[in-house]
Amino acid sequence: MDGIFETQPERTDLPLVVMPVVIASMIEPFKKNFAMLENVARVRMYEDFTLDEDTIVERCKDADAVMVIGFHCTDAILDRLPNVKCYAFGGTGVASYINLDKSKERGIRVCNVLHYGDHAVAEHTMALLMELTRHAGALDAQVKQGDWDGADGFELFGKRLGIIGLGGIGQTVAGIAKAFGMKVSAWNSHVPAQVFADLGVTPVDDMNELIAGSDVVSVHMPLLDSTRGIIAAENLEALRPGTLFVNTARAEVIEPGALLARLQRGDIPAALDVFEHEPLTADDPLCKIPGIVLTPHIAWRTDGAYIGLTKQVVQSITAFFKGEDFNVVV
């Protein structure tokens, strides 16, 4: 059939892995990794993109394992696919895409991928920050409309960046920021002292102190049970007017509704790649706030990230069918 790529279709004795949705740029990287599943499992990859739940369920009805790329595996999908025993998610923050408690109760394995997009997300973080400070995209639109007024910039050199979440992505952002001549601090949350020393980053134990003392705040916390809502409304009160705020992590690490309430005051320029409800709709209140830059959760989408991501997704499926562990979350 057109639009479907299959491996070993004649091997009906093998378990079936279905990828019901795929991002076009990932198709070739995935195909290069499917050899790992030879004589282990057959693959059926639908080479289009849809968020229609009924379509996803129909495509996965005979699957033993599902590769989750670009869609939220809702409770309704889990309930309608009782035969699926493994979900391999193409990202790190799987908790906002699959109900981990429900999966655990049902004995379903859920896997994610790690450190595949440290540079991709870090670079997008800086792209968002540069848009806030130098307005390249907005100025491009102005010039093409015959407007030569321009806009004042905000120089990053010498400014203080406060990072919340000094893992792989946060560390990469810190390195780039240091190259810009920024001073970098980070919230000290179980990060070894040597990491701070090696990066030349100042540890700050109190989140309010970090936020209040920063010219730019960038969030890089993974979404875990322990980090859900960890940035509270009280913490956002510490943002001084004019502080730049960037989130390329997960919206759920912030207390629900707290960021919208803070940004609606209109004194915090912000750039966001993640949202409490995705996809974001045009009538969302965030879209009505002036001076905010929004992108559609694509920080991770680069050619380099796809190489590591696709390999790890296939590795996790291969390990599952071989009785091994690889990137197991539950």
Domain co-membership, 161 together with 45: no
Quick check: is 130 in a domain? yes
Quick check: is 24 in a domain? yes
State the total domains in the chain. 2
Quick check: is 326 in a domain? no
pLDDT exceeds 90 at position 175: yes
Quick check: is 329 in a domain? no
pLDDT exceeds 90 at position 232: yes
Domain with 193 in it: 118-294
Per the listing, tokens 């995935």 go with 30
Domain co-membership, 212 together with 272: yes
| CA distances (Å), origin 200, targets 98, 140, 171, 176, 246 | 37, 36, 10, 12, 21
Domain co-membership, 58 together with 196: no
Domain co-membership, 122 together with 106: no
Q: Is the pTM of this model over 0.85?
A: yes
Domain co-membership, 112 together with 132: no
pLDDT exceeds 70 at position 224: yes
Domain co-membership, 184 together with 62: no
Over residues 263-310, the pLDDT tens digits come to: 999 999 999 999 999 999 999 999 999 999 999 999 999 999 999 999
Identify the pLDDT of residue 83.
96
Over residues 71-108, the pLDDT tens digits come to: 999 999 999 999 999 999 999 889 989 999 999 999 99
Domain co-membership, 311 together with 269: no
DSSP track, 262-293: HHTTS---EEES--SSSSPPTTSGGGGSTTEE
pLDDT exceeds 70 at position 1: no
Identify the pLDDT of residue 2.
58
Q: What interhelical angle do 118-134 and 303-321 show, nearest 10?
A: 150
Identify the pLDDT of residue 96.
85
Identify the pLDDT of residue 199.
97
pLDDT exceeds 70 at position 68: yes
Domain co-membership, 50 together with 182: no
Quick check: is 233 in a domain? yes
Quick check: is 263 in a domain? yes
Domain co-membership, 142 together with 186: yes
Q: What is the CATH number of the domain that holds 144?
A: 3.40.50.720
Domain co-membership, 177 together with 278: yes
When the pLDDT of each residue in the chain is averaged and rounded to a whole number, the result is: 96
Domain co-membership, 170 together with 72: no
Residues carrying an active site annotation = 250, 278, 297
Q: What interhelical angle do 118-134 and 136-144 show, nearest 10?
A: 50
Quick check: is 327 in a domain? no
Percent of the chain surpassing pLDDT 90: 95
Per the listing, tokens 């993974």 go with 222
Position 206 confidence tier, pLDDT thresholds 50, 70, 90: very high
Per the listing, tokens 């109900």 go with 99
Domain co-membership, 255 together with 186: yes
Quick check: is 330 in a domain? no
